[in-house]
Structure 1
């Protein structure tokens, strides 16, 4: 550790210092065009050669970087240190002989040599800078036991002294949890959070990292620290689904009456609406159940339907009344399909022409649930302007291919049609007879549409590898003649091996032999 850099004839191979703006933008991971490997090389140069102002700016930017950026930079630095053997020796001497500034301690803490990392950890423990804490967190999961133990002792001391916000340490802890030695820090932090008062948790409740916010909300709710209003606000506004659901359940448990929960009934999150609806209707508020019948999510509709049935009401009757309105909400058609009977087919079928694509989708689904689908009603929707509608129609018609006109399906494949219409025709044509499937794929093998072309080539390979050997019936004479021409056309694309297999399985090898 005390060897001088001058004793080594080795050279460092580090890049030149770039523009100050580039370094500052890349330091915290804000500039996504700067990768960890590129940045780590520059970081070593900055730590070694830059003027003090730039070094201070870079270490401050690192202090606010996201945990995932730190993990990537740590890995990249460990590899990059191989290009700086002279500075490695010089830095080792600095660590052994005296005080080292924070940025140099940070890069030393990510060194490939465990002895240098351990020495850096000793010095980092004396600093309160967020970048120093981030590296200490990384080293608590270090693969070298001595480094790991020193880092954990330093972090434990930091936690006991409560020197600052836990936000960054918590973010790092959950980012490291999946690593071999990473569970220790996450468990330690979670234990600390459980004992924090609300003012200590506040910075974590608004942290950028979702896992940090989740842990903070769990700790606050376990301690009963959040008001019903605070829980409802989080359930309505947080951008993380697990947090919204967690806070909705907490609000339901903490509420003193259903009136406090009515705001949750209009949440954009189905799980939140479901939690609120269960609580509100549990005290007999059937009006809320009636209002939730047309909900767009099946879970919420199911709760509303169950509550109405429990009171002796008939949800299907309510859906029938709603379905006669102009036009009904898509959730009404979905609900009628879930609760109605065959006698409702005419009412649902009328809304295959619903002005909203979602309404047409739900009408098709409802007919399918009621078991009253008719090909004649659905075939016109294969040309619908919405891909969601055509996908739903295809899902139904694939079970009734016998009643479909092959010429009509082939017309869907015409190049002038919309991409989703062509794909609907492709899926139906390749769902039935093996030889029709093969012919369709061969026709599309050089199609301008990337999706159809790739799908056709992949399906030919799938058929050859998995199904061709068990296709015992051969093609008709007309189909065989068609396949002969299509296979010949595909020769430059598929290659001789696949062409030979296709001709063999189609029974065309006899003609080739003649």
Structure 2
């Protein structure tokens, strides 16, 4: 066993803190002085421990007890005492704080490096604490971890299950002279924490040579986290502009709009590049792997004439392609394809239906409200009903009200609750618009209240009737 590997502990730190809080909020005094039964104690511990345990006592509200507990913790040498000492070093009682600091300073040696690595978040937290100037101690811990003899502990921290520890260890490793940068940045760029991968992508450009950086960009360009791919693309443009054009062309078909925009911007700067023609050719080619990105790109760069090229893909079996087609059609010429978008609103997949709803939201003036209500009544799938109700809620101030009142009586509790919330929102926004209702609006609202009012809150019905009296 390594010197910095602590033995299994019967309670986690969280459980110990929970026990400490429980003794005051439940018992009103120290557990160790309370004549309580094991059954009462059991809910706060998974294993029986001594009631006068010093790590628990270090959280006592009594300063004398905490000081004595810190002095007992200082006698421990297995590393389990470190997190409790790091908490006590910011104690509001100076004797407790000084005793904890002395104990921690005595542990600033290589064999304790692993324990400090595992508790790095607590160490760094001290820099923001104001009861005492902890900067010298924090600096001493970080200097110890950067030392060559602490390298095994630091490298072990790079694979810690705690992502906060990994993040801090990667940042320390870049400052350690004898750790190969390409090796550990390659490890960081493959970490499962997006924050670590993005940090590595940003750091690589300023610390690696061109050849090593190009090796890493091949990994970064395939990252599932868009900011990492974007950083790789921007870094290539800055460090190797003569080799970046093939990468920029490949990035035109990236799934994310931000990457596509960067690629189009830099290709346009070089001159002679027509993004619309590129995307039209990609859609014509119809390769399913990149088709959703090609449709999205055409929606971003095309014209109304390109809508005919997009429309057939609304019936494609692939969900991503149908969603991209609905979005592109809404961007290019949604006004002329209301019927197609209404059919997409009833798609089997919620994300396709949502894309159609977004495309229709700004075109409600072109849709008869009854058509939306027919979708709401006809389609029994919850996502289609939610989206059609959302569109109905986007109608004019008085025009939407009859449909929302009717939806309050829906047999789906979720839909009915949504309709109630939309009516509450109508009340909250009432004075934002002073458009008067038409006679037809008043008639439809009154009819809806007579028929479906019993399903509503009595107070809401009363308020609506009061509003109608004014007209």
TM range, normalised to the smaller chain? Answer: 0.7 to 0.9
Q: Using the TM superposition, give the Cα deviation of residue 105 of structure 1 relative to its aligned residue in structure 2, in angstroms.
A: 1.0
Q: Using the TM superposition, give the Cα deviation of residue 294 of structure 1 relative to its aligned residue in structure 2, in angstroms.
A: 0.8
SS in 1 for 2:354: helix
What corresponds to 1:452 in structure 2?
415
Structure 2 residue 36 is matched with structure 1 residue 82: no
What corresponds to 1:321 in structure 2?
281
**Which ranges in structure 1 are unaligned for 5 or more consecutive residues?**
1-55, 90-99
SS in 2 for 1:112: coil
What corresponds to 1:235 in structure 2?
189
Structure 2 residue 204 is matched with structure 1 residue 246: no
Counterparts in 2 of 1:73 and 1:486: CA distance versus 1, 3 Å: same
Q: Using the TM superposition, give the Cα deviation of residue 279 of structure 1 relative to its aligned residue in structure 2, in angstroms.
A: 3.5
Q: Using the TM superposition, give the Cα deviation of residue 120 of structure 1 relative to its aligned residue in structure 2, in angstroms.
A: 0.5
Q: Using the TM superposition, give the Cα deviation of residue 113 of structure 1 relative to its aligned residue in structure 2, in angstroms.
A: 1.3
Q: Using the TM superposition, give the Cα deviation of residue 405 of structure 1 relative to its aligned residue in structure 2, in angstroms.
A: 2.2
Could you tell me which of 489, 494, 497 is aligned with 2:457?
494
CA offsets 1:352-398 (integer angstroms, 9 cap, x no match): 33332222222233344446543233121111112112222222212
Structure 2 residue 298 is matched with structure 1 residue 344: no
Counterparts of 1:58-97 in structure 2, within 5 Å, are 60-62=9-11, 65=12, 72-79=18-25, 82=28, 84=30, 87=33
Structure 2 residue 338 is matched with structure 1 residue 360: no
For normalisation by structure 2, the TM-score amounts to 0.81
Could you tell me which of 425, 428, 442 is aligned with 2:388?
425
What corresponds to 2:78 in structure 1?
129
Residues 333 and 366, structure 1, Cα contact 8 Å, conserved in 2: yes
What corresponds to 1:195 in structure 2?
146
Residues 404 and 423, structure 2, Cα contact 8 Å, conserved in 1: yes
What corresponds to 1:119 in structure 2?
68
What corresponds to 1:108 in structure 2?
57
What corresponds to 1:265 in structure 2?
221
What corresponds to 1:218 in structure 2?
171
- Distance across 2 between alignment mates of 1:350 and 1:457: 38
- Distance across 2 between alignment mates of 1:119 and 1:188: 27
What is the RMSD computed on CA atoms of the aligned residues? 3.4
More off after superposition, 209-218 vs 364-373: 364-373
For normalisation by structure 1, the TM-score amounts to 0.75
Structure 2 residue 339 is matched with structure 1 residue 379: no
Task: Report the number of matched residues.
Answer: 438
- Distance across 1 between alignment mates of 2:400 and 2:17: 49
What corresponds to 1:274 in structure 2?
230
- Distance across 2 between alignment mates of 1:294 and 1:499: 53
Q: Using the TM superposition, give the Cα deviation of residue 196 of structure 1 relative to its aligned residue in structure 2, in angstroms.
A: 3.5
Q: Using the TM superposition, give the Cα deviation of residue 135 of structure 1 relative to its aligned residue in structure 2, in angstroms.
A: 1.3
SS in 1 for 2:98: helix
What corresponds to 1:308 in structure 2?
267
Residues 300 and 328, structure 2, Cα contact 8 Å, conserved in 1: yes
Q: Using the TM superposition, give the Cα deviation of residue 137 of structure 1 relative to its aligned residue in structure 2, in angstroms.
A: 1.7
What corresponds to 1:284 in structure 2?
242
- Distance across 1 between alignment mates of 2:246 and 2:275: 13
SS in 1 for 2:112: coil
